[in-house]
Amino acid sequence: MAGLTVPTWDPETALLIGTILLEAIVLYVGYGGLERLFGSYLIQFLVGGDADAR
Amino acid sequence: MLDSLLNGLGILGTSPEMLALFVGFGLVVGVLFGFFGMGGSFLVTPALLMLEYPAPVAVGSGMAFVFGTAVIATLKHHDLGQVDYKLGVIMITGTTVGIEAGRASVYYLESLGLAGGVISVAYVVLLGGVGAVVTRDALKSGGSGGIDHEAADQDLSGYQTPEIAKTIQQTVRIPPMVTLRGDVRVSVWVITAVAFATGLLSGFLGVGGGFIRMPAMIYAIGVPVPVAVGTDLFEIVFSGGLGSYLYGQGGGVDLGIVVPLLFGSALGARIGSAATAVVDADSIKIYFGGMLLVGAIAVAVGEFGAYVGSPTLELLGLVLVIGAAVVVAVAILYTTVSSLRETGRQGTTAAD
């Protein structure tokens, strides 16, 4: 275990890393969509009523 | 079916309290990463060590988290055209060997029972060193720690190669030579040496290595800042993916840690990145340097607590490392909301 090793194919580990990759892509797309949908509303909410007036 | 899959992957092996803690910590780390462009991820491994996870799990899960974060950030920089794929591919070989050497060192030290201590000491030196440099620069010139967002967003036409990079390009001319984006011509061996050194650090500490690799790409290779940022992230996708795979084979990647951390950090990174458009980063960089220094002290306190068998000191170390990150993240959010409200008021006054 302590020496240098060449990676070998391991379906279980590949599934593990694939899960993280999939989660990252889903989060990028999902949060991006939420930002487009609700980003401006959130900014208006944070800025306060003054922004609505504009 | 789903339960057995999640159980097998480790999601349900983590208590709801720990899942909430990891999502919250991920959010904090994400805000720091999105705002400063670096730094948040290397608080994860020390925090996991202080939570008494075995060193390979702390480093392996930290690296898997870095991998997921890099995937998200690379997708964004790809959209901005800031990735030099040729440079990234050349660096992969050196980084791969470096990571494997670093990983082998962790398992060797673990077999001697020294891994946790040695890694913690390395973190104290690293966090303390980088924290001191960032704080000194912030005090001296109004802040130059982290990535300069203005430099990162500029185009490549007016880019001036640093003098040290020009000297290296003219001195080390061992073939094969390659031409990179920004019309940079450099020996493949320089690129490989930079890649190996940063890969070694990644494999040993479970960090992306961007805070070393990016300055190295800019000052040793001569790559323009925007390309260094994008290419570094692209490279971390591969190095982090491979490192995670190698640690995963040894049981070192815990999805119960990585999934909630990533869930929180992906949201935090968007908030932190958006905040850069509103807040002057220079005014907060001194806190960033301070956070790294507190992190170094926290790891030292936690490790000393473990050495003398004091749970109170171990808890104090954990509270310090998480607390420092939370304070800086809250400072960013508070300043952002205040700036937005100020802008809103000025807009209304102008309209009147």
Q: Over the stretch B240-251, which tens digit does the pLDDT of each residue have? A: 888 899 889 988
Does the CB of A24 have a partner CB in chain B at under 8 Å?
A: yes
Q: Structurally, how many domains does chain B consist of? A: 1
Which has more pLDDT, B127 or B89? B89
Radius of gyration, alpha carbons of chain B: 20
CA dihedral B275, A21, B39, B37 (to 10 degrees): -40
pTM of the entire predicted model: 0.76
Which range, B33-42, B72-81, B129-138, B272-281, has the best average confidence (pLDDT)? Answer: B72-81
Task: Please answer yes or no on whether B111 and A43 come within 8 Å at the CB atom.
Answer: no
Specify whether the CB–CB gap between B229 and B214 falls below 8 A.
yes
> Residue B190 domain-assigned?
yes
Q: What are the chain A neighbours of B335 within 8 Å (beta carbons)?
A: none
- Chain B CB contacts of A24 under 8 Å are 67-69, 71-72, 262, 266
Q: Distance between CA atoms of B295 and B131, rounded to whole angstroms? A: 9
Residue B325 lies in a domain: yes
CA B107 to chain centre: 22
Specify if B200 maps to a domain. Answer: yes
Answer whether A42 touches B (CB < 8 Å). no
In this complex, do B9 and A47 lie within 8 Å of one another by their Cβ atoms?
A: no
Question: Is B348 a domain residue?
Answer: no
Ranges A13-27, B83-97, B176-190, most confident: A13-27
Among the partner-chain residues B72, B107, B345, the one whose CB lies closest to the CB of A50 is B345
Pick from B3-12, B49-58, B113-122: least confident: B3-12
Cβ contact (<8 Å) for A27 and B76? no
Is residue B352 situated within a structural domain? no
Beta carbons within 10 angstroms of residue A5's beta carbon:
14
Mark B102-115 as b/e (b = at least 16 C-beta within 10 Å).
bbbbbbebbeeeeb
State the smallest CA–CA distance between residue B108 and chain A in angstroms: 5
pLDDT, averaged across chain B: 79
Q: Tell me, what's the ipTM? A: 0.82
pLDDT for the residue B1: 40
Q: How far is CA B276 from CA B80, B96, B150, in A?
A: 16, 33, 10
Question: Would you say residue B351 lies in a domain?
Answer: no
The answer to whether the Cβ–Cβ distance between B351 and A1 falls below 8 Å is no
Residue ranges making up the domain that contains B315: 2-340
Helix axis angle for B55-79 and A11-47, nearest 10°, is: 60
> pLDDT per residue over A19-31, tens digit each?
999 999 999 999 9
pLDDT at A51: 46
Judge contact between B12 and B6, C-beta under 8 A: yes
* Residue B176 domain flag: yes
pLDDT: which is higher, B275 or B350: B275
d(CA B308, CA B305): 5
Inside any domain, residue B276: yes
Contact B103, B245 (CB under 8 A): no
Give the integer Cα–Cα distance in Å for B48 and B61: 9
H/E stretch holding B186: strand B184-187
